[in-house]
Amino acid sequence: MTQILGGHLVGKYMKEVEKVDTVFCISGGHIEAILDSFTEYRIRTIDVRHEQAAAMMAQAWSVYTGRPGVCLVTAGPGFTNALTGIANAYLDNAPLVVLCGRHPLRDDLKGALQEMNQMDVVKPITKWAATCYETKRIPEYLNMAFRHAVEGRPGPVFLELPPDILNVKVPLERVPMITRMTRKYTVHPDDWDLRQAADIINMAKRPLFIGGSGIGLSCCSASLSQFIDKSGIPFILLNYGRGELPDNHPMSLWDIGNVGIQLGITQADVIVAVGFRFNWLLQSGAIIPPQTKVIRIDIDPHEVDRNRVADVGLVGDASSVLSQLIPLIKRGEHSEWIKTLRAASNAFLDPELKLRVAPSSPIHPIRLVAQIQKFVGDDAIYVVDGGDTQYFGLTGFFSKEKAGVMATAAGLLGCLGTGIPFAMAAKLARPDKKVVLLQGDGSFGFNSMEFDTMVRHNIPVVCVVNNDTAWGMIKHSQELSIGCDRLQCAELGERHYEKMVEGLGGYGEFVTKDEEIIPALERAFQSGKPACINVMTDPTVTSPATPLFYQSLKMD
Amino acid sequence: MQLSLLLYILSLKLQIAAKMNKAFRNYIGTVQLKILIKTADGKWGRLFVFDKGKVTSIGGGNHNCDAALVWSDPGTAFKTMVKASDEATFYAAAAGKVKVEGMAYYIQWFNDGVKLTM
């Protein structure tokens, strides 16, 4: 009778059933048997320097690969360190599987090493959380975890595995091993609702399509492409939906960026919102005029009427619902509306467009982004992290790749520090693509030790620091709210982050002049190392995101 | 002439609102901003100065500012602004009759503030 260690059941199930090939982790005594199973079953481990990065990388892995990302953390501080990443995945609806160590069951309430009630802490920020108490049920619990992560509206799940079940052997024959990979099931909207939606779309004069993370998580580029081609509706893809169709698609409005979104929303007569929440960035739906017809498609029925009662709500997976709508809609033609929207937006964007092409001293962040884009092009993956920096990156970078321009800090948690883990995961998931990270100098501090991880695992990301020597968004917001003379905890000073990266074994450059930007990028990519180009930019520049942020926190 | 009068009346409305209108007072808060509305030739215009809750204005189209709404001509500016409608401004922008200099968001902020006084 073959005996198998409980910990090895983890690797066996994940590799053989869920086809997991990469896990993001930090080692720890409580989880040693699981780590050993990764050797046994040839699962690649990316061991980071802080568990927060492991959770964020696993979340990013799900975005870049379309499969749930897995992170493994040890008990106690390993668990608490991962919490920010788990919370971020929860608010982003990302399918993240967190496996976590635990103090031994036998030592409960004895003051065991790293003993704490992890479950009560993690439950509010996970879709599903459980402790497995029996070795032979480990595959069953893992199966439940993966199922909950991907089914319906995706989200993070948490499975606690104590040493009492990991460090004992059981006969393999007695372990019920599920053999089928987790499947994603979908629901379908009512036929009458589908026809209603099609009627509204067919009558629209100034329609606008907004796709959010639900588009990306549905991996629906084929059905989305058909829907857009047939309906003729201009579209903007946001959050993890971005790149499901390329930014340079003729109907994409990314060329007019946030201004285009704002104007489009206020002037459209029909808005088709798919997998997209009407959150604070859309003033919780208040930005949409009352007379505008709204069609919402979402996998979560609770989302359909949230913050704005939809004229038609279609519940289901984005790809499935769009496929069902395609035969019901007429071929649409809205080129005049698109031309008008572009022309109006460009009148407001004119200053930004001029900044892109004019050399500046000190370097303007918009110019910095334009120079990076000019050198790297659209066959690349861009990650952006920061406050003001995320605005400049999101509106200035264009990619033809799925999830080609990501700024997780612009998500609901507003989680600065996600840039480095996301960029690392992007490079690991798509090693053939150039990965550029535009990083604010403030947010650089949260996960910058991960340059060590990049060096150890040979992950050559090129990071460009937009260094305005401050927490820019906070600083400029404070200037509006409490005045320039009373800034508090807003300044950072000029720091040589590139030297820190060099010290960790990467490549570094310090840039202060416009003409130095592209040559520095050339050398950074040529180095083949993880690189940091520290670019000093104009500290007085404010992005439009800052006053929006400032206004959102004002109370009547 | 009509445009100058319209901008002057607008400045009075904003100044009164800064004292009497609680929602507007709260909206402008302690913001320090200079918004200029002018014609492209600079012959017509008015600068609106927001300074920690106080609103003042100066006539003329040649002032330093944080953002400017630049109209092609005074007639279009008057006809569009008097409608006080986002749609009218949208179509004027699409027709190349108005553009923004500086950060567009500040113009939006200004417009949203003006709406509170209407």
Shortest Cα distance, chain A CAs vs residue B80, angstroms? 14
Q: Under an 8 A CB cutoff, do B91 and A344 touch?
A: yes
Domain with CATH 3.40.50.1220 in chain A: 191-340
Torsion of CA A319, A325, A331, A335, to 10 degrees: -60
Asked if B23 has any chain A CB less than 8 Å from its own CB, the reply is: yes
Most B CBs within 10 Å, among A348, A354, A355, A551, to test the B interface? A348
Residue in A348, A482, A556 closest to B100 by CB: A348
Q: What pLDDT sits at residue A556?
A: 66
- The beta-carbon contacts of A471-474 under 8 Å, at least 24 apart in sequence, are A471/A387, A471/A442, A472/A386, A472/A387, A472/A388, A472/A389, A472/A440, A472/A442, A472/A539, A472/A541, A472/A542, A472/A543, A472/A546, A473/A386, A473/A387, A473/A388, A473/A543, A473/A545, A473/A546, A473/A549, A474/A387, A474/A442
Give the residue from B105, B100, B32, B107 showing the smallest Cα distance to A391. B105
pLDDT digits (tens, 9 = 90+) for A197-244: 999 999 999 999 999 999 999 999 999 999 999 999 999 999 999 999
Shortest Cα distance, chain A CAs vs residue B103, angstroms? 7
The rounded mean pLDDT for chain A is 95
Shortest Cα distance, chain B CAs vs residue A343, angstroms? 5
**Which whole number is the average pLDDT over A71-81?**
98
Query: Is pLDDT at A186 greater than 80 in this prediction?
Result: no
Tokens of A523: 């050398």
Residue in A350, A352, A556 closest to B26 by CB: A556
* Consecutive 10-residue averages of pLDDT for chain B (118 residues): 91 94 89 93 94 93 93 95 90 95 86 88
CATH of domain A358-552: 3.40.50.970
Contact status, residue A406 vs residue A380, Cβ threshold 8 Å: no
Give the residue from A284, A297, A288, A136 showing the smallest Cα distance to A223. A297
In chain B, residues 30-89 whose CB comes closer than 8 Å to chain A: 30-32, 52, 86-87
Q: Under an 8 A CB cutoff, do B52 and A343 touch?
A: no
Residue with token string 């909950």: A148
Q: Under an 8 A CB cutoff, do B86 and A267 touch?
A: yes
pLDDT digits (tens, 9 = 90+) for A235-287: 999 999 999 999 999 999 999 988 899 899 999 999 999 999 998 888 889 89
CA distance linking residue A336 with residue A342, whole number of Å? 10
User: In CATH, what class is A191-340?
Assistant: alpha beta
ipTM: 0.89
Alpha-carbon Rg of chain B, whole angstroms? 13
Domain with CATH 3.40.50.970 in chain A: 3-174, 358-552
Residue A356's pLDDT band, with cuts at 50, 70 and 90, is very high
Which residues of chain A are at the B interface, by a Cβ-Cβ cutoff of 8 Å?
Answer: 259, 262-263, 266-267, 340-341, 343-345, 347-352, 479-484, 542, 544, 547-548, 551, 554, 556
pLDDT digits (tens, 9 = 90+) for A85-135: 999 999 999 999 999 999 999 999 999 999 999 999 999 999 999 999 999
Give the residue from A264, A265, A276, A272 showing the smallest Cα distance to A322. A272
**Which whole number is the average pLDDT over A416-421?**
98
Shortest Cα distance, chain A CAs vs residue B5, angstroms? 25
CA distance linking residue A481 with residue A310, whole number of Å? 35
Query: Is pLDDT at A548 greater than 80 in this prediction?
Result: no
**Which whole number is the average pLDDT over A307-312?**
96
Q: Which residues contact A120 (CB under 8 A, 6 or more apart)?
A: none
Query: Is pLDDT at A188 greater than 90 in this prediction?
Result: no
Q: Which residues of A touch B105 (CB under 8 A)?
A: 544, 547-548
Amino acid A509 reads: E
Q: What pLDDT sits at residue A183?
A: 76
**Which whole number is the average pLDDT over A450-459?**
98
Shortest Cα distance, chain B CAs vs residue A55, angstroms? 35
> How many Cβ pairs within 8 Å bridge chains A and B?
67
Portion of chain A with pLDDT greater than 70, in percent:
100
Query: Is pLDDT at A479 greater than 90 in this prediction?
Result: no
Q: What pLDDT sits at residue A181?
A: 80
Contact status, residue A70 vs residue A182, Cβ threshold 8 Å: no
Closest Cα in chain B to A542: B103
Helix axes A388-396, A257-267, angle to 10 degrees: 80
CATH of domain A3-174: 3.40.50.970
Q: What pLDDT sits at residue A480?
A: 81
H helices within A93-159, ranges in order?
118-122, 138-150
* Phi, psi angle pair for B49, to nearest 5°: -110, 120
Asked if B26 has any chain A CB less than 8 Å from its own CB, the reply is: yes
CA distance linking residue B108 with residue B118, whole number of Å? 16
Q: Under an 8 A CB cutoff, do B93 and A351 touch?
A: no
**Which whole number is the average pLDDT over A460-481?**
94
Q: What pLDDT sits at residue B29?
A: 86
Q: Which residues of A touch B90 (CB under 8 A)?
A: 263, 266-267, 344
Q: Under an 8 A CB cutoff, do A348 and B31 touch?
A: no
CATH of domain B2-117: 3.30.1050.10
Query: Is pLDDT at A303 greater than 80 in this prediction?
Result: yes
Query: Is pLDDT at A503 greater than 80 in this prediction?
Result: yes
